[in-house]
Amino acid sequence: MNRDDQAQARATLEAAAVELLTAGERRGRGQAAAAEVPDLYRVARPVRTLSPGSGTRLSS
């Protein structure tokens, strides 16, 4: 991708953002909070795999 392509992509994205704003859409809610390891364990804990690689999951 050369600089002209990048500039065109940026302009297209900016135009789409302007269209969304004029239509009353909100883009995002700000910076997302970082997920930390304890948070990931809390999310993953309720989901257990019955057998490795089976793809079958059971909520506990």
pLDDT band with cut points at 50, 70 and 90 for residue 57 = low
pLDDT, one tens digit per residue, over 8-50 is: 999 999 999 889 889 988 777 788 888 899 988 888 877 766 5
Q: Is 51 exposed, middle or buried (0-12, 13-18, 19+ CB in 10 A)?
A: exposed
pLDDT band at 54 (very low <50, low <70, confident <90, very high): low
Whole-prediction pTM:
0.41
Q: How confident is the model at residue 53 (pLDDT cuts 50, 70, 90)?
A: low
Output the pLDDT for position 44. Answer: 81
What's the rounded Cα separation, in Å, for the pair 47 and 49? 7
42 vs 28: CA distance, rounded Å: 25
